[in-house]
Amino acid sequence: MTSRLFTDREGDVGLPGSERRLAVLALVLGTSMAVIDATMINVALPRIAEDLAVTGSQVVWVTNVFQVVCAAFLLVFAGLSELFSRRRMYTFGMTLFSLAAVGAALSSRLETLLLFRGLQGLGAAATLSIGTSLYRAIFPSRLLGSALGLSAMVVAVGYAAGPAVGGLVLSVANWPWLFMLTVPLGLVAAWLAWRALPKEPRRQGGFDVLGALCAIITLSAFFAALEALSHGVWRLPVLLWPLLAILSFIVFLWRQRRAPHPLLHLPLFGVARFRLALASQCLAFIGHGVAFVALSFLFQESMGMTPLQTAWLFTPWPLTVMVVGPLAGRLADRLNPGLLASMGLGLLLSGLVALAQLSDGASMLDIVWRMALCGIGFGLFQSPNNRELMGCVSRERSANASGIMGTTRTVAQSLGVAVVGAFLATELPVQAALWLGSVSCFLALLVSLRRLPLAKEQARAPAKQVQ
């Protein structure tokens, strides 16, 4: 099925078919390394806490600092990629991620480990901010959905394989080897990126430094507020974080309307297809974030499952995404992506509602088919929705659109996680959080259905891409 990704037709733009293989390999290695790293490090947190003599609440920052730094700099690196080229930015990100992994492996104190995890977050932001847009640069429009389906499959494989890889390594070696494992893969990905990714001219002009600072402050304050929310902390000093996030976001928007080269290209939000697809993604990933954390507590605390059993019960979700994602992407090149995405959201909603109704004595089979239904729905939603988002912007604006997509996805997932933490802190039942995740997916479906009439307009007249 992937062989058609490397065929040529008259009028194709992007890289010639023969040059796409190495470019795709660079993206696949980079994406899978980032996803596997994030999931397998979670498995090692108890071992890291024991070796470094720190508490569980302290060691979770090994994960948190990576996520916060990565999210805060996604828009910034997307903007910098236009100034320095995506090829240079991706190579820089892979190299920084790999070298910081060496530092993390050699760390003997939590403070040092957190420093290098923050640098890894910077490297990940440099690659993830432009990863989707590079598929747009490599492939012609007729293959964009199939290429994004391949990307969805790689992410799903990473999520499925990460915990297993982490557990396998920890069974024969100590936790520093988890970091060292990514070093050769990252350096190979950096070399491939420099050799094979499209060479682009640098944009002339300056960089929006004030906008970048406002974006970093906004997202950092937002995540600090979420951290407090997840622990049920409502004291006055904590309330200053959301206030700072709101004020800096207002200044950020003011700056984007006036900056010669803004980080956030506001005319993108004037395109109904882009706006509705982005809103659907945001609401769907809130539900996704709620589900993945809430189900972990449901399986272990309410149903009495072991961590290993819980890991296996999560597997059907990414495995079905791995199968359905590429098929959905290929269909999105031929059918209305909005229709396919809406169908996926309907299935995802059905799966979440079914999971919210689980009893404490539910059998493994009862859980597995519900998880698989969610995976089928999510796989059917994600690739076509990404196809819609990238297909309605020009190649010149694809890096900016990719940064917006990455930031929205990360913020939405983190909000979902924080919501579950707030429910747990107030001792509300975890099933209530699953119902809230279902409501978020229902709203995503309503938003997605609003774009279906746009397909008829597009059929009558080709849609204009945002320049």
The confidence score (pLDDT) of residue 81 equals 83
DSSP-based three-state secondary structure for 15: coil
The confidence score (pLDDT) of residue 349 equals 94
The confidence score (pLDDT) of residue 455 equals 65
Number of Cβ atoms within 10 Å of the Cβ of 286: 25
On whether the CB atoms of residues 289 and 415 are closer than 8 A, the answer is yes
Average pLDDT per block of 10 residues along the chain, 467 residues long: 71 76 87 80 78 76 81 86 86 94 92 92 88 82 79 77 76 87 90 88 78 88 74 64 87 87 80 88 89 78 74 82 86 85 93 88 86 92 86 74 82 78 73 88 92 67 50
**Domains parsed from the chain with CATH numbers:** 17-197 (1.20.1250.20), 208-260 (no CATH), 264-454 (1.20.1250.20)
On whether the CB atoms of residues 406 and 367 are closer than 8 A, the answer is no
The confidence score (pLDDT) of residue 376 equals 93
Task: Tell me, rounded to whole angstroms, the distance of Cα 156 from its chain centroid.
Answer: 11
The residues that bridge with 401 in the sheet, in sequence order, are none
The confidence score (pLDDT) of residue 45 equals 75
| Tokens 């890096």, residue located | 399
